[in-house]
Amino acid sequence: MDLRIRKALNFIEREYGKKILLKDLAQQAGLSPFHFQRLFRRETGESPAECLTRIRLDRAGHLLRVNADLPISRIAYDCGFSSPATFSRSFSQRYGCSPSHFRKEGLFLSNDQLPGDFPVEVVYFSETTIFYTHTSVFQSDFLRAFDSAKVFCQLEGIETGGMFGVYAQIPFHIPRQQLNYFAGIAIDQATDRLPADRLFTIPAGRYARFYSSVSYDDLIHELTRFQQHWLNKSPYHITRIFAFEHMLPFNHQQDDRPERYIYLPVERS
């Protein structure tokens, strides 16, 4: 990741409870607000405002989970929201439920239900459309398929966001040769300038999410661990036969184990 953006992210992580303006973040990166926004989205797949809100909501979710006596209004202000109403709207958009409902029922399993090295969280993911290149994760240079999709959009003058890989089937027991994979780049909206047969919309909803940096040769083992150590012990079940991953920035020359967040659609049983 660009060190200037990393510096801005570190600032957000430290100061999320305070009022943070775009110019403050741009100053941390040593860029103009315009160029900072463009570089930030290119590096992270989200805008500075989206990133700030996500971090604030993650902190709020943690406080709701671990401190049942702390008033929701106090959590809202401590996490940098201008009012409890603004916090409640943002929280519901991300998690699919109100803060009070989240506190009552919880979207996270307790720590004693999760192995320490395999944390899983259930989050609400907003609908996202990607423009993709059809490939296989078992091709030696498959990561370049993300670049191919991005370059195509750039040539058409289309703004892009984060990188997402979609598995047409959840790869628990699918043979390698049958595992379809869409290496894509997020776009703001569908357009006639892009081939319709290379667009895929990730549906909004509740997803189990976990971090992974294993090689794709070890992916089946990773998902089996998810199933055995989390899914089978949780109050959730998988609702659709697909999965996707949000790719973090990677180096083509070095990353045979790219960092990413893997998402599987779930709902309470």
pLDDT in tens, the chain (269 residues): 688 988 898 888 888 999 999 999 999 999 999 999 999 988 887 899 998 998 898 888 877 876 777 899 999 999 999 999 999 999 988 777 889 888 876 554 444 344 444 688 888 888 999 999 988 887 777 888 999 999 999 999 998 989 999 987 766 555 555 567 899 999 987 778 899 889 999 999 999 999 888 887 788 788 888 888 888 888 888 888 789 999 987 765 556 678 889 999 998 87
Does 248 lie in the same domain as 149? yes
Does 125 lie in the same domain as 258? yes
Query: What pLDDT is attached to residue 221?
Result: 82
13 lies in some domain: yes
114 lies in some domain: no
**Domain final residue, candidates 51, 76, 104:** 104
**Secondary structure of residue 185 in the 3-state scheme:** strand
Does 87 lie in the same domain as 52? yes
Does 225 lie in the same domain as 139? yes
190 lies in some domain: yes
Q: List CB contacts of 129: < 8 A, sequence separation 6 or more.
A: 186, 187, 189, 190, 199, 200, 201, 202
Does 220 lie in the same domain as 157? yes
116 lies in some domain: no
Does 144 lie in the same domain as 73? no
Torsion sign across C-alpha atoms 38, 40, 46, 50? negative
Does 235 lie in the same domain as 179? yes
**Domain final residue, candidates 104, 133, 156:** 104
Identify the H or E element spanning 238: strand 236-238
- Give the CATH number for residue 226: 3.20.80.10
Number of domains in the chain: 2
Does 85 lie in the same domain as 127? no
**Domain final residue, candidates 104, 139, 164:** 104
Identify the H or E element spanning 163: strand 160-167
192 lies in some domain: yes
Query: What pLDDT is attached to residue 175?
Result: 57
Does 84 lie in the same domain as 8? yes
Question: Alpha helix (H) ranges present in the chain?
Answer: 3-15, 22-29, 33-44, 48-66, 72-78, 84-95, 99-105, 144-155, 219-229
110 lies in some domain: no
Query: What pLDDT is attached to residue 38?
Result: 92
- Give the CATH number for residue 17: 1.10.10.60
111 lies in some domain: no
Query: What pLDDT is attached to residue 34?
Result: 94
71 lies in some domain: yes
Does 37 lie in the same domain as 155? no
Range of the domain at 127: 121-268
Does 100 lie in the same domain as 129? no
Predicted TM-score of the model (pTM): 0.59
Does 257 lie in the same domain as 134? yes
Query: What pLDDT is attached to residue 251?
Result: 64
Distance CA 213, CA 231 (A): 20
